[in-house]
């Protein structure tokens, strides 16, 4: 069977939308999720209408399911859509939240907002992965968890978001050790020009950051080459000419860590 299905959360804008479009170009049928129904349906329609989704249209195309991944009923709806599709080859846990903005010091971080950040960035992707693992095992599929260098670096003000992403990274690390039939990748896209990144720097000009589309080839390499489970940085997966400003930011920042 050549039919391939990918589920991408947080797909209405930014990296999620760019990655969904890239997967469509690779011939994937898509199941997309985001909280804002209008934005999600607009993104799904754009992906479907573009030549990027030509291959996927023949197989069923793009399914948009608005909702919040922290809601068990919504996660059950996503599982239902996957069951209707008949298989799942790739789960992309991209949906996330920055947490409090402007970024507070940990000493001042509102505990309620910290709890919410963990709910979105750690609990929800683990819970969704749990639901979908039987289908991923059956297809020999993969889980791609979007993380951040804030998970491994001590940036002032990033304690809440960074701690949540660190939790997701360790959960991914353990999942990779446990699920030998499924690839598990946790990948840092680097600084990008997104709404979330703008919220981290309110009022500042972030136009020097690259667009999300620039790192899509890095994530597609993970998927198409089925690289070993592990932690990756987009800048290390891109050809040198494609990394642009990210190459210099990544130069001092560690190496690919993979486990078989």
Please determine, for residue 185, whether its predicted confidence score (pLDDT) is greater than 70: yes
- Measured in residues, the chain has a length of 260
Confidence of residue 254 (pLDDT cuts 50, 70, 90): very low
CB atoms within 10 A of CB 253: 14
Look at residue 45 in the predicted model and tell me its pLDDT: 94
Q: Torsions phi, psi of 193, nearest 5?
A: -85, 85
What mean pLDDT is predicted for residues 71-82? 98
Q: Which residue has the tokens 């709806």?
A: 77
Look at residue 194 in the predicted model and tell me its pLDDT: 58
Please determine, for residue 255, whether its predicted confidence score (pLDDT) is greater than 50: no
Please determine, for residue 205, whether its predicted confidence score (pLDDT) is greater than 70: no
Cα distance between residue 191 and residue 193, in whole Å: 7
Catalytic positions, please? 161
Its sign, for the CA torsion 203, 209, 210, 216, is negative
DSSP secondary structure of 193-247: --HHHHHHSTTS--TTSPPGGGGHHHHHHHHHHTPPEEEEEHHHHS-HHHHTHHH
Q: What is the maximal distance between C-alpha atoms in the chain?
A: 54
Please determine, for residue 248, whether its predicted confidence score (pLDDT) is greater than 60: no
Tell me: the pLDDT tens digits for 85-107? 999 999 999 999 988 888 899 99
What mean pLDDT is predicted for residues 95-120? 93
Contacts of 120 (CB under 8 A, 6+ apart): 69, 70, 95, 96, 97, 164
231 within 8 A of 257, measured Cβ to Cβ: yes
Look at residue 135 in the predicted model and tell me its pLDDT: 98
């Amino acid at each position: 069977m050549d039919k391939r299905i990918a589920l991408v959360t947080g797909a209405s804008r930014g990296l999620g939308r760019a990655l969904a479009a890239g997967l469509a170009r690779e011939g994937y049928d898509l199941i997309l999720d985001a909280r804002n129904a209008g934005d999600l349906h607009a993104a799904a329609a754009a992906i479907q209408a573009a030549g990027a989704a030509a291959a996927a249209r023949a197989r069923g195309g793009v399914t948009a399911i608005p909702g919040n991944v922290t809601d068990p009923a919504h996660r059950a709806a996503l599982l239902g859509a996957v069951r209707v599709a008949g298989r799942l080859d790739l789960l992309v846990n991209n949906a996330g939240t920055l947490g409090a903005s402007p970024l507070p010091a940990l000493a001042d971080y509102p505990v309620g907002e910290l709890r919410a950040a963990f709910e979105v960035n750690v609990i929800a992707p683990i819970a969704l992965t749990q639901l979908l693992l039987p289908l991923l095992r059956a297809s020999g599929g993969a889980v791609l968890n979007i993380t951040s260098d804030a998970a491994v670096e001590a940036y002032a003000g990033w304690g809440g978001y960074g701690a949540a992403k660190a939790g997701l990274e360790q959960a991914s690390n353990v999942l990779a050790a446990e699920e030998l039939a499924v690839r598990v990748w946790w990948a840092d896209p680097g600084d990008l020009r997104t709404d979330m990144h703008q919220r981290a720097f309110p009022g500042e000009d972030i136009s020097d950051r690259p667009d999300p589309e620039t790192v899509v080839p890095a994530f597609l390499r993970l998927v198409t080459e089925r690289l070993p489970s592990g932690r990756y940085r987009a800048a290390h997966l891109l050809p040198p000419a494609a990394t642009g400003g990210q190459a210099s930011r990544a130069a001092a920042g560690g190496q690919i860590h993979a486990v078989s």
